[in-house]
Amino acid sequence: EAQVTQNPRYLITVTGKKLTVTCSQNMNHEYMSWYRQDPGLGLRQIYYSMNVEVTDKGDVPEGYKVSRKEKRNFPLILESPSPNQTSLYFCASSLISKGADGYTFGSGTRLTVV
Amino acid sequence: QQQVKQSPQSLIVQKGGIPIINCAYENTAFDYFPWYQQFPGKGPALLIAIRPDVSEKKEGRFTISFNKSAKQFSLHIMDSQPGDSATYFCAAPWGGGADGLTFGKGTHLIIQP
């Protein structure tokens, strides 16, 4: 089944403790993105990648890092999480640039930073 | 900087009614306009998309209307059903060399039986 897999689904952590949210897709997509979803703010892009070793900032990149060492994986790294990073995170991938073929989203990771 | 503005924030419609969700955009260089549907506990999924060279597109009970001069596009759901209850997002692709989409803030739609 074609899918984007995120792990973990739920995570509670403390301020300052580094964490990684993994994202893997099995569709050989070149384009991948991370979004965060907050009530009343919709979906905002954090980082995107257009191919292996090609990443760039989205709309709200502060406090986040990403890497793209393999085509299928696009982890999101929070080096020193803070409470304002409490959010619902989605990884997405597409075959065509800018999601013209439709983005496939993962099921989300709900992160709480206390 | 938000490039698509979506309204209303929430909407309640009786079964069989026609909910309408509106989006206004700023950048005239967008080359397609998608709508995404999200159910609780799931990621968004592409529902329907339109290119700016057409004024309307239908897929089943879902229709996008596009008004280029007004820089607006809207989603209509015909014969709405309780199963259509979800959050709907309009979106547009980022301009220039950036990849990804900029999304509206979402509309929480409830279809009452």
How far is Cα A42 from Cα B103, in angstroms, rounded to an integer? 7
Interface test with A, best of B35, B36, B101, B103 (most A CBs within 10 A): B101
Q: What is the pLDDT of residues B49-58, one digit of tens each?
A: 998 889 999 9
Question: What is the model's pLDDT at position A98?
Answer: 82
Report pLDDT digits (tens) over B45-85: 999 999 888 999 999 999 999 998 898 999 999 999 999 99
CB neighbours of residue B45 within 10 Å? 14
Instruction: Please tell me the distance from the alpha carbon of residue B78 to that of residue A46, in angstroms, as a whole number.
Output: 35
Which of A42, A48, A58 is facing B89, going by the closest CB pair?
A42
Q: Which two tokens stand for residue A25?
A: 């897709």
> A82: pLDDT confidence band, cut at 50, 70 and 90?
very high
Asked if B6 and B104 count as a contact pair (C-beta separation under 8 A), the reply is: yes
Query: Is the distance from CB of B11 to CB of B74 less than 8 angstroms?
Result: no
Token code pair at residue B110: 């409830």
Give all strands (DSSP E) within chain B, no chain letters. Answer: 4-7, 10-14, 20-25, 33-38, 45-50, 56-59, 62-67, 72-77, 86-93, 101-103, 107-112
A47 near B CB under 8 A: no
Q: Is B102 on the interface with A (CB under 8 A)?
A: yes
* pLDDT, tens digit (0-9, with 9 covering 90-100), for A14-72: 999 999 999 999 999 999 999 999 998 999 999 999 999 999 999 999 999 999 999 99
Q: Is B104 on the interface with A (CB under 8 A)?
A: yes
**Smallest Cα–Cα separation from B76: which of B93, B60, B53?**
B60
pLDDT band at residue B28, thresholds of 50, 70 and 90? low
